[in-house]
Chains A and B, each alone.
Chain A
Amino acid sequence: MNDFKKIAELTNLIGMVQARYAYAIDDGDFYDWPTFFIDDCFYQITSADNFGQGLEAGLMWLDSKAMLHDRILSLLEANVYERHSYRHILGQPHISSIEGDEVESETSFMVARITREGPTDLFATGRYVDRYKVTESDAKIMKRIVVLDSSYVDTLLGFPL
């Protein structure tokens, strides 16, 4: 019963954090994105094929909060691309492991992309494979591997998922 209560609480907490995470990317301030991570974090985007075969490379492979910040900085200040935005739809987190204040979870996502001269398209589906550091009222991402279901990416994957 305690386990159930604990898992329900964590599901709720991580779900809330992830709702804010999606808001930051889709509707809020991109610079808030790194604040969901601990300083010494790891963030990677890869495909299910690469992930399954244990291949290490990523479409993004960032191993500090500062690098996450730089990603946003570069996208907003340096890189050139056509205006577009994302809409994240997240599933409920599945808590897969609890070790003290570190929690592993997986969450399915679908992301639509809205481009300047195109309709809204389904851009990416996949799952977050996460490790969180949990406190009473917050959870910070220690490690997030974004596992895309498909190895095919249309045109550009600039902003984070």
Chain B
Amino acid sequence: MAAFDKVGAKRPTWSEEDGASRVPYWVFQREDVLEAENKKLFQGPVWNFLCLEAELEETGDFVAVSAGETPVIVTRDKDGQVYAFENRCAHRGSLLALEDRGNVKDFTCVYHAWTHSLQGDLIGVAFKDGIKGCGGIADDFKMENQGPRKMRVSVLHGLVFGCFDEDVDDIEDYLGEAVLERIERVLGGRKPVVLGRFTQILPNNWKLYVENTKDSYHASILHTFFTTFELNRLSQKGGIIVNETGGCHVSYSCVDHGETLDDDQKNAYKDENIRSDSDLSLTDMSLLESFKEYDDDITLQILSVFPNFVLQQIQNSVAVRTVLPKGTDSMHLKWTYIGFEDDTPEQRKMRLKLSNLIGPGGYVSMEDGCIGNFVQRGTKGAPDERAVLAMGGHSIETGTDRITEAAIRGFWTEYRGRMGL
């Protein structure tokens, strides 16, 4: 019996002094951690990315998405505003929307036809007054305030974010100025067009993928495709930005005009025995053709918003990604590939070709889909052992160095604070 009791034992502790430089593997394994995440993060005072505003053009347009593991409907109502609320009937909890997207006048539950407005208010109960004076709902039942829980919504440069907690900071403050500017850099004043949507099922805890997106250290080591074509070497110019609370970041690199790598830079990779010294060359280089889209030399910018949103610009390949937990050891990664309304056919084609770099089979992203599972499996028997995050010291500071784990430490700093772990 004693052994069984141990299974239900209370969560192990995570020492203060570990800070964000040591992360115990049980945070990727425990059901009670996931339960707390759904409550304190995804339903708490954080901004969940929901969809693109461009997906809600007309009155009555809706998309069905998730905030963490909570199903959510996002709509555009007659007043032109965007609303978000739980995808859950006020009556007995059935899903209201059974399609991913569409256009509706209201949401009528299939189970007993209780009707909800585009703002998520309960507005109709079938046979409320019964039939011919018989049946009907209890006299004391009021429809007001019975509806599914609503989210506070913020639309930022065409990105729709939602939060279940009214007390959340305004999105601008939540992100901080530097991160905000980098969102504006990619999306500001432009009308995105959805080029395609794919969902990748990853057999790992959602936080392992989040760590990966914030990990500027691994990029040119794990992803050989990138390094081979010199799209991204750590020896290139670039840097990372971490916002004040830690949980939002930007990693970027720039092209060096006219400069080729000097021998020292080349040898840096050789000396470290990193697989980026091959003579591999593409037969059809049109794969990597790109056009000048921004007023700067940044060719790659990966931006994350706490807890689970990524905006990616790899040359002209622009996409948003949402990281959604599905249990402790599985997650969905939702990709939306984006173009812009004023793209020429040639520009559109370059975006589509560059998209070969991303997604479940992307030349540079395919390893990211696998690595989380390698960690999940590698740490299976080691819940109390800890990952080391000491590259670049222990800080979570912004800098011009990408051989650092500062952005990952930033995530854990904000995570620990919000989770009370």
Contact = CB atoms under 8 A, between A and B. Distances in A.
Contacts of A156: 360-361, 366, 369-370
B196 interface: yes
A35 to B, nearest CB: 14
A59 B198 contact: yes
Nearest to A80: B367
Contacts of B254: none
Interface in A48-92: 49-50, 55-64, 66-67, 69-70, 73-74, 77-82
A105 interface: no
B224 A80 contact: yes
Contacts of B348: 56
Contacts, number: 116
Interface string B329-358: 000100001000000000010001101100
A55 B199 contact: no
Contacts of B360: 59, 153, 155-157
Contact of B356 (A56, A60, A77): A60
A18 interface: no
Contacts of B194: 55
Interface string A132-155: 000000000000000000011111
Contacts of A79: 224-225, 363, 366-367
Interface string A32-55: 000000000000011101100001
A15 interface: no
A57 B202 contact: no
A60 B332 CA distance: 20
Chain A, interface residues (CB within 8 Å), range: 35 or more
Nearest to A49: B197
Interface string A75-116: 001111110000000000000000000000000000000000
B196 A70 contact: no
Contacts of B267: none
The 3 closest A-B pairs by CB, nearest first: A57-B196, A66-B284, A157-B361
27 contacts: A46-B196, A47-B197, A56-B352, A57-B337, A57-B352, A58-B352, A58-B355, A59-B198, A59-B359, A61-B355, A63-B353, A66-B283, A67-B287, A70-B283, A70-B287, A73-B283, A74-B280, A78-B224, A78-B278, A79-B367, A152-B199, A152-B201, A153-B360, A156-B361, A157-B360, A157-B361, A158-B361
